[in-house]
Amino acid sequence: MPPVPPLGRPLAIIIGCALIFQLYLFFSSSSSSNTNYQPEDLDSSPGSSDSGSSRWDDPNRNRHPTVPLTLKDFSNLDTLADRIVKAEAYRVFEDKSAKKINGTPIRGNAALVQKIRDQIKCWTTHGSWQRRDQEFTPLKHLGDSRFAKCDKTFMKALDREGNGHYLGEFDHSSDRFLVREAVKYRWVPDEAKCGPGPGTMGLQDERAIYEPFAKPRFCEVMDERSFLVVGDVTQYQIHDVIASAFKSSFVCYGELGCLHHSSHGLCNNVALKYARNDLLSVPWAVNPEDEEFPSASTVEQAWATADMLLKYKVLVLNRGLFWRPDEVFMSELVFTMKHLWKYYPDTLVIYRSTHPISANCSQFKSHGEDEAIANKKGDSDAEGITLQKPLQTAPKRQEAAAGEKQEFRPTLADIQRQNRIAKAIVEAAGGIYLDTENMFALRPDGRMGDGDCARFCAPGPLDAYGDLLYNTLRILRDKPLTTPA
């Protein structure tokens, strides 16, 4: 090796010292960060609302602290958001959809449009979760096996009893049905408010009867139209519910694997497909020429293309857990709905509200929620394990304690406010809004747990969407569907 020139020695020493200093900073920063490492830091489950640390790139959380708001501040913010979104919706859609629902024969009748929307709202907001203590057949989910984790825990509890019983059996010796408690509750609308008859909310004829799901009747109301479910990972579960209710063979597993696989066959000329798009963005919503690029924390598969929307005439949409400021949420959803409203007016858009995240989901799991074996009276047969039941009233907004800052989004107030924004936009664009916020806020039980308190185990509360979607499509027909004998 040739000797270093005299003039190069000082430069070599400086470079060497700089390298050593950089290595020192690197290892010292790594060691200091490792001292705060906890296993929860690697939890990438969506929608976790548990306290403590979270993954740095968790797309469901925004780490910018906000100013603590009082309940009056929340109310004022709601009022302001309502005024802005109504003005924007009227500016864009000009109230042209007030007398029709796109993708249906209902046109030119503003009173009927309002009655139908009132009827759907009544079904989802005026009702209760009622326990079935008799034997029944829970929906068998054929999709992603990860959603069966609660049943696996329940089966382990049965094995510990040593009685040779199995999941779904009726144990006559103990007069109990061996199914998880979260599966035994069925959503039942209040017939006095929502049923047929004068003085009820919405439709007052036989269409107001809330019918149970049945595949032949559901196939009839689909009218040979196909489903496209779009949204984040919670929408992937809606796709799972629909396909399982039809007992369809599954051709895709995982939130990112469905768009490019063949669709699920439901009925004759009726198919189902899921696309993962956390923001419901249309293909050209991102413009690289304006230095706009997709975020690395969100997934935006292209779904609003001509190839997709000419085939799939019923869209089931949602966005919300990937928090954006109100003005961004509103502008992006207006852009998407305007695209559908303008270029695909024969497409039926059903937008479901975002479900509030359960704050005590993991606490229920630690108290043995999935291990609870109940008798016919609803009492626990397992010593020391408390049965979890649906709430009677939904959780309310809470003011931040003195000195406390709201670090993570979306909060309950965010979800409620942006659901109201979405409702105004979707209905102005001629779509249907499923207001299931309160309905599922009553169900802190039956969640996945282990840091994932946004999604539900299967079977579970989400199976109610089979009945809800069927009845929604049924009353959107031009004539009542014949009630089966």
How far lies 309's CA from each of 233, 314, 470, in Å? 21, 9, 21
Higher-confidence residue of 196 and 287: namely 196
Residue 47 banded pLDDT, cuts 50, 70, 90: very low
The amino acid sitting at 427 is E
- How large is the average pLDDT for residues 45-61? 40
What is 71-474's CATH number?
A: 3.40.50.1110
- Position 17 scores a pLDDT of 57
pLDDT tens track for 310-360 = 999 999 999 988 888 999 999 999 999 999 999 999 999 999 999 999 878
Neighbouring CB atoms inside 10 A of 313's CB total: 19
The answer, yes or no, to whether residue 478 has pLDDT greater than 80, is no
pLDDT band at 290 (very low <50, low <70, confident <90, very high): low
pLDDT exceeds 50 at position 46:
no
pLDDT one-digit tens code per residue, 55-89: 333 444 444 456 677 888 889 999 999 999 999 99
pLDDT digits (tens, 9 = 90+) for 98-154: 789 999 999 888 999 999 999 999 999 999 999 987 888 999 999 888 999 999 999
Mean pLDDT, all residues of the chain: 83
pLDDT, residue 249, reads 83
pLDDT at 52: 38
Where residue 432 falls among pLDDT bands split at 50, 70, 90? very high
Ordered by start, the domain boundaries in the chain are 71-474
Q: pLDDT class for 44, splitting at 50, 70, 90?
A: very low
